[in-house]
Amino acid sequence: MTSEFHIYNTLSRKKEIFEPLNPPFVGLYACGPTVYGDAHLGHARQAITFDVLFRTLMHLEYKVRYVRNITDVGHLVDDADDGEDKILKKARLESLEPMEVVQYYMNRYHENMASLNVLPPSIEPRASGHIIEQQELIAKIIEAGYAYEVNGSVYFDVARYNKDHSYGILSGRKVEDLISNTRSLDGQSEKRDPLDFSLWKKADPSHIMRWSSQWGEGYPGWHLECSAMSTKYLGMQFDIHGGGLDLLFPHHECEIAQNVAGYGKPSVKYWMHNNMITINGKKMGRSLGNFITLDQFFSGEHEMLEGRYSAMTIRFFILQAHYRSTLDFSNEALRASQKGLEKLLKAMALLDTIKPLENSSISVKSLHNKCEEALRDDMNTPILIAHLFDGVKIIRALSEAKESITASDLDLLKSLYRTMVYDVLGISPSNAPEAENNLTGDLVEMILQLRKDAKANKDYNTADQIRNRLTQLGLNLKDHKEGTDWEIN
């Protein structure tokens, strides 16, 4: 078994052995939400991916400082760099103060994350609280010759930067190709080149979120906050920067350019990106009308949902795909995840009923090693879960005394499941569907036991009556050698 942790680095485009800059400390930064609307499945996937990374690093005994920001200013509607500020737009539509919008959606985001059992980060900085740091970075970039001021706004000079460094190293895009793909500037623009992006924007008189600066009253460009806040809390060089694949370009590409231009060198050793969620094969988006918020998943109140889904079902569904693969939502897939999770938790409950014996007929060590290896292989959670399901068969066999286990192996097996399911995958038993259905489950199990007893007494009449009555009540029963599986239709 390898003790190394391998992670896929978007920058090198390959899996690398994880070697932190200052072990045992690890600096981890992940882009957080722009708080102007309710969180959806895409937010959940990004937060859960880096939550599992945070948990995995702690499991590997690193001391992690995890910084996840809140974007509360500067994220503009059009290409993130033009048009109205997303938060200001929402505030205008709802007749609220922009910071009321921010507070409202930030609270809701935190509630959603708590439901999903996403651990709070070590530091959660907000862009509006770091205006000075952002202004200092702009000044450095101007001083280095990679930005220019026009009429109270400051833009990053991509062409000038690309002469000395290489713009596009993360996304693999070439400046020449980008130029031919960008619409030409209209006469209104102050930018020298359409590829240039804003570092500081002059606030027009109606713009409420504004700060004074040496360039006049304005507000920072969106990409700047992550450069300024990550290095403030994690140092000029840090280990991991994460985010969704949709942030790779231009957001993260611009971040690299800003850091190299302002600080003289890149700051991030490993870049990690989680893939996107599709809905019935289509891209998800507010404008596409297939947008389901987390609260709608929890309540079932959306026309595309065939029921409500617990937060742990959502979490388990996300973890059943590798973070670098796309994940397609469908009701069938979510129901399958719910059943899978129930099966896993039921087996874990069985662990407490197993009586240890003199010898072990199964190898806990081998199961343990397989789980560890899957986790250390770029957080391969679907393979890890597959191994845990293999273990479910072993647990069932043990509970039916078809296999045997010693007391110390049983302790190892219990500890393996607790560590992997609760600590690493972050499944919270109290938020799981199993907990909600506990009474129903116990009652069904009790009735099925009565039916089993009736069969054993050759009272087939009673056994059949119980079966028919349960079926009428909407239960699906499946008899097999080891007992009876059931599910509610």
Provide the minimum distance between the beta carbon of 475 and Zn ion in the complex, in angstroms, as a whole number: 48
Provide the minimum distance between the beta carbon of 405 and Zn ion in the complex, in angstroms, as a whole number: 48
Query: Using an 8 Å Cβ cutoff, are 200 and 215 in contact?
Result: yes
Q: Which is nearer to Zn ion, 109 or 317 (CB)?
A: 109
CA–CA dist 84, 73 (Å, integer)? 11
Signed CA dihedral, 439, 440, 441, 445: sign only = positive
Query: x/- contact string, 204-243, with Zn ion (CB under 5 A)?
Result: ----------------------x-----------------
Provide the minimum distance between the beta carbon of 255 and Zn ion in the complex, in angstroms, as a whole number: 7
Q: Which is nearer to Zn ion, 157 or 255 (CB)?
A: 255
Tokens of 359: 């010898």
Tokens of 457: 């007494």
Q: Which is nearer to Zn ion, 96 or 169 (CB)?
A: 169
Beta carbons within 8 Å of 108's beta carbon, 6+ residues apart: 38, 39, 295
Provide the minimum distance between the beta carbon of 266 and Zn ion in the complex, in angstroms, as a whole number: 15
Residues that bind Zn ion (rule: CB under 5 A) add up to a total of 2
CA–CA dist 193, 185 (Å, integer)? 7
Query: Any long-range contacts for 60-63 (C-beta under 8 Å, 24+ apart)?
Result: 60/5, 60/376, 61/24, 62/20, 62/23, 62/24, 62/25, 62/26, 63/24, 63/25, 63/26
Query: x/- contact string, 314-353, with Zn ion (CB under 5 A)?
Result: ----------------------------------------
Q: Name beta bridge partners: 211.
A: 218
Beta carbons within 8 Å of 303's beta carbon, 6+ residues apart: none
Q: Which is nearer to Zn ion, 226 or 234 (CB)?
A: 226
Q: Calculate Rg over the CA atoms of the chain.
A: 27
- At residue 129, what is the residue type? G
Q: Which is nearer to Zn ion, 229 or 405 (CB)?
A: 229
Secondary structure E strands in 108-237 = 147-150, 153-156, 197-202, 218-220
Q: Which is nearer to Zn ion, 31 or 147 (CB)?
A: 31
Q: Which is nearer to Zn ion, 197 or 417 (CB)?
A: 197
Provide the minimum distance between the beta carbon of 43 and Zn ion in the complex, in angstroms, as a whole number: 14
Provide the minimum distance between the beta carbon of 225 and Zn ion in the complex, in angstroms, as a whole number: 7
Q: Which is nearer to Zn ion, 43 or 376 (CB)?
A: 43
Q: Which is nearer to Zn ion, 90 or 251 (CB)?
A: 251
Spatial CA neighbour of 451 closest among 461, 466, 440: 466
Provide the minimum distance between the beta carbon of 313 and Zn ion in the complex, in angstroms, as a whole number: 29
Provide the minimum distance between the beta carbon of 378 and Zn ion in the complex, in angstroms, as a whole number: 22
How far out from the chain centre does Cα 173 lie?
A: 26
Provide the minimum distance between the beta carbon of 220 and Zn ion in the complex, in angstroms, as a whole number: 12
Find the binding residues for Zn ion in span 13-42 (CB under 5 A).
31
Q: Which is nearer to Zn ion, 32 or 340 (CB)?
A: 32
Give the residue carrying structure tokens 């129901």: 335
Interstrand relation of 153-156 and 147-150 (parallel, antiparallel or unpaired)? antiparallel
Provide the minimum distance between the beta carbon of 447 and Zn ion in the complex, in angstroms, as a whole number: 54
Query: Using an 8 Å Cβ cutoff, are 115 and 43 in contact?
Result: no
Find the binding residues for Zn ion in span 152-191 (CB under 5 A).
none
Q: By the criterion CB under 5 A, which residues form the site for Zn ion?
A: 31, 226
